[in-house]
């Protein structure tokens, strides 16, 4: 059966970086059927909604979705549920992409990061697996209320259920198995929570351990537990000791941003959001629509190209093509391909050229 990749370029630099990813896709996977759809502000402008039923149905019917970015100052006055960002939340919800994969991979060519004016961790290669559709971001009740004495009170509810914890744990173990880095200090899966002060965190720890004992032990992948604050500390102190970090929505959000900054520019960071096996995954750069540089040909397309790489690997089963893309990006960097965010002056298209040349 033909595999289809749905392209949702979106707003700002989204279309510019997706254009380069498409050139790479056409090269390494010429038989892949490419379709296009609307999401975000451009969808709101044309259809009055940031995510139409048509786009969501197309996404559900595809093998994988490659998204650029959504949003921008043009839509800042639009009602919250019609804002471009709502399109992103709704497509994640619609595809039930509960597992967010954020690699923190430092390309050796960037390790001398004097142009970035900060230190990177040469050789770092870890993966954060973040639960994406549950936890304190979605728990009910939540709200802001004013008490009779005028005091305002804001509240959110942190909650997890056993099925939510079990399914994200299975994803983390599958990934750790494929990576095979068991010799690291916290190699295999390191599950993080705050079981010392949170009941939902205690449940997280107990249920990760329970599904491991019942179902995953035979995979031979080590399991570690760590408190989330200790993990934040160790990520800075000894980052190469980790392999796969399994975290809930909140801690995964923070720890993945922390880890990513050890590896380079925001213009380099891809992400994947996966549902159950066989269902389409959603792939997108970590960066946003970057209105300040949109339309100027300055955006680094490597986060988008590496998001394509993740789609090839995780949804399309094209491991060799994925490896080829990683290698080409790495070589292009070694040969000096650099956009402004990496301290160079390459245009977006020249970055694409550099990857294609390899
Ligand atoms: P969002 O609200 O969607 O996260 P944002 O306005 O916070 O968007 P980002 O796009 O996340 O902005 O990035 C912040 C800044 O980093 C941008 O303003 C831009 O200067 C820079 N940046 C982001 N992505 C890239 C990229 N691909 N190439 C070069 N610079 C980038
Ligand atoms: Mg941002």
Query: Residues annotated as binding site for Mg(2+)?
Result: 229, 253, 257
- Catalytic residues, which ones? 137, 194, 229, 253, 257
Atom 4, ligand 1: residue with shortest CA distance: 288
- Which atom of ligand 1 lies at the shortest distance from residue 303's CA? 27
pLDDT in the model for residue 113: 60
Interface ipTM above 0.85: yes
Cα-to-centroid distance, 209 and ligand 2 (Å): 34
pLDDT in the model for residue 114: 59
pLDDT in the model for residue 80: 87
Give residue-wise pLDDT tens across range 89-114. 899 989 999 999 999 999 988 877 65
Ligand nearest to the CA of 290: 1
Give residue-wise pLDDT tens across range 7-43. 999 999 999 999 999 999 999 999 999 999 999 999 9
pTM, full prediction:
0.92
Cα-to-centroid distance, 288 and ligand 2 (Å): 6
Cα-to-centroid distance, 298 and ligand 1 (Å): 11
pLDDT in the model for residue 311: 98
Residues of the chain where predicted confidence (pLDDT) is lower than 70: 113-117
Report residues whose beta carbon is within 6 angstroms of any ligand 1 atom. 13, 17, 69, 71, 266-267, 287-290, 292-293, 299-300, 303, 339, 341
Cα-to-centroid distance, 188 and ligand 1 (Å): 32
SS (H, E, C) the chain: CCCEEEEEEECCCHHHHHHHHHHHHHHHCCCCEEEECCCCHHHHHHHCCCCCHHHHHHHHHCCEEEEEECCCHHHCCCCHHHCHHHHHHHHHHHHCCCEEEEEEECCHHHCCCHHHCCCCCCCCEEEEEEECCCHHHCCCCCEEEECCCCCEEEECCCCCCHHHHHHHHHHHHHHHHHHCCCCCCEEEEEEEECCCCCHHHHHHHHHHHHHHHHHHHHHCCCEEEEEHHHHHHHHHHCHHHEEEEEECHHHHHHHHHHHHCCCCCHHHCEEEEECCCCCCEEEEECCCCCCCCCCCCCCCCHHHHHHHHHHHHHCCCCHHHHHHHHHHHHHHHHCCCCCHHHCCCCCHHHHHHHHHHC
Mutate to test the pocket of ligand 1, among 288, 295, 349 (most ligand atoms within 8 A of CB): 288
């Amino acid at each position: 059966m033909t595999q289809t990749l749905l392209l949702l370029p979106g707003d700002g630099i989204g279309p510019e970086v997706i254009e380069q990813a498409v050139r790479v896709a056409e090269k390494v996977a010429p038989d892949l059927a490419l379709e296009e759809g609307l999401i975000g502000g451009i969808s709101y402008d044309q259809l009055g909604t940031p995510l139409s039923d048509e786009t969501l149905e197309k996404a559900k019917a595809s093998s994988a979705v490659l998204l650029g970015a959504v949003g921008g100052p043009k839509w800042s006055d639009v009602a919250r549920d019609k804002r471009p960002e709502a399109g992103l939340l709704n497509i994640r919800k619609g595809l039930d992409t509960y597992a967010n994969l954020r690699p923190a991979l430092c390309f050796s060519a960037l390790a001398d990061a004097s142009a970035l004016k900060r230190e990177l961790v040469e050789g770092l290669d870890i993966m954060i697996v973040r639960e994406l559709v549950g936890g304190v971001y979605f728990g009910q009740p939540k709200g802001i209320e004013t008490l009779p004495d005028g005091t305002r009170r804001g509240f959110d509810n942190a909650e997890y259920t056993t099925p939510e914890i079990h399914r994200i744990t299975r994803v983390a173990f599958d990934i750790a198995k494929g990576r095979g880095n068991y010799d690291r200090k916290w190699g295999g899966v390191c599950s993080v929570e705050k079981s010392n002060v949170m009941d939902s965190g205690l449940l997280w720890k107990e249920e990760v351990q329970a599904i491991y004992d019942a179902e995953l032990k035979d995979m031979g992948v080590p399991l570690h537990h760590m408190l989330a604050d200790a993990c934040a500390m160790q990520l800075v102190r000894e980052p190469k000791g980790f392999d796969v970090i399994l975290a809930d929505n909140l801690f995964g959000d923070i720890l993945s941003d922390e880890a990513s900054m050890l590896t380079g520019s925001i213009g380099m960071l891809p992400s994947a959001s996966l549902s159950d096996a066989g269902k389409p995954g959603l792939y997108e750069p970590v960066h946003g629509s970057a209105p300040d540089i949109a339309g100027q040909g300055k955006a680094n397309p490597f986060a988008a190209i590496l998001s394509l790489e993740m789609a090839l690997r995780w949804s399309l089963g094209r491991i060799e093509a994925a490896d080829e893309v990683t290698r080409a990006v790495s070589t292009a960097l070694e040969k000096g391909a650099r956009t402004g965010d990496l301290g160079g002056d390459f245009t977006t298209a020249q970055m694409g050229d550099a990857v294609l040349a390899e």
